Amino acid sequence: MANIERKLASVRKVTDIRPIPDADAIECAIVGGGWPVVVKKGEFQVGDLAIYFEIDSWIPHELAPFLSKGKEPREYNGVLGEKLRTIRLRGQLSQGLLLPITLKLNLDFSYLVTAFERDLQEGDDVTEILGVQKWEAPIPACLAGQVRGNFPSWIPKTDQPRGQNIVDEIFEEHKGETYEVTIKLDGSSCTIYAKDGDIGVCSRNLDLKETEGNSFWNAARDQGIVDAMLVYNKKTGHNIALQSELCGEGVQNNQESIKGQRLFLFDIFDIDGQAYMKPDARISLLNEHIVPLGADLTHTPVLHLAMCVTDCFANLDELLAYADGPSMNPNVKREGLVFKSNDSDFTFKTISNEWLLKRKEK
């Protein structure tokens, strides 16, 4: 089971060009049938291959100096540049950056020329060669902790592809499938595993030592999950990993306004069978086994148990609009939704554009 690495910069096809009302100099290009990007009028034609940079990319200054709008570029991990965010231009949503495939290469970037002399094909990943990094907010100390080891290789890291990158898979390949739809909480990923009597608590990328100030371990103990998992593992011999989102004070913006910190379950991985449990089996295991053993653990809010996505939504725009709405805390906008198929192991997420536009940048 491959962990999904995001292709932040890749070769993509322009699938549509749409005018922007009352704008003379700009128009909206649709990339790969999914992402809208505002571009200069006439710069791209339908069918062109171009280099697309997704939101959250850190773009080296030399690649697109205009992003700094005449100001000094900012710095991230020692690289001068700018971060790509979701914006609106003249009312049009714009997500990411599109550059011609014939990048006018600055002399400082001459080492790239050789790479670009090869024929680039649709789908090619050019993230590394262009020096693009994923921008991540600094991690607070309570979430960093001391390392016990790498994230276990026998558990997949949590993540799902974004709907915009897999439009055909959703609407063609997986047509007719029903999905569990849960609210995506904006916290920090935590995996707790019980394997052959051993228990481990991991952050998104690391297996963590139990230390006093570590939020993941504290929540796992305080909510009784560690003890419940150990008993479950001993009684049944079943090796499992619970994947949950840590939300609360000091985590992201705590938009759910949770007192203290709490874990919310969203997946269970069957380590012995090397497969995710299907939604209904996961919810039964939680409520009929883990909770009765004393774990004070709730699931991320479930909006639907079996929604047929292709019956409910005619296209990506309709599916994305459904991501907008109230969160677990009904007074705030949700980050988005996660869709997990009941019929295959296909999953994806939709991030709310309303939420992306409103989000407080750190």
Interface contacts to ligand AMP, rule CB under 6 A:
158-160, 182-185, 189, 245, 266, 300, 338, 349
Which of 197/326 has CB closer to ligand AMP?
326
Please, what is the minimum distance in Å from the beta carbon of residue 317 to ligand AMP?
Answer: 20
Please, what is the minimum distance in Å from the beta carbon of residue 245 to ligand AMP?
Answer: 4
Let me know if 146 is exposed, middle or buried by CB neighbors in 10 A (0-12, 13-18, 19+).
Answer: exposed
Please, what is the minimum distance in Å from the beta carbon of residue 210 to ligand AMP?
Answer: 21
Q: Which residue carries 């050789």 as its tokens? A: 114
Which of 124/159 has CB closer to ligand AMP?
159
Q: Which residues contact 185 (CB under 8 A, 6 or more apart)?
A: 245, 247, 256, 264, 300, 327, 328, 335
N-term to C-term CA, the chain: 33
DSSP one-letter code for 160: -
Which of 188/239 has CB closer to ligand AMP?
188
Let me know if 83 is exposed, middle or buried by CB neighbors in 10 A (0-12, 13-18, 19+).
Answer: middle
Task: State the Cα–Cα distance between residues 82 and 141, nearest whole angstrom.
Answer: 25
Task: State the Cα–Cα distance between residues 345 and 362, nearest whole angstrom.
Answer: 35
Please, what is the minimum distance in Å from the beta carbon of residue 269 to ligand AMP?
Answer: 12
- Tokens representing 74 are 């900012």
Which of 233/350 has CB closer to ligand AMP?
350
Please, what is the minimum distance in Å from the beta carbon of residue 188 to ligand AMP?
Answer: 7
Which of 112/356 has CB closer to ligand AMP?
356
Please, what is the minimum distance in Å from the beta carbon of residue 259 to ligand AMP?
Answer: 19
Which of 92/218 has CB closer to ligand AMP?
218
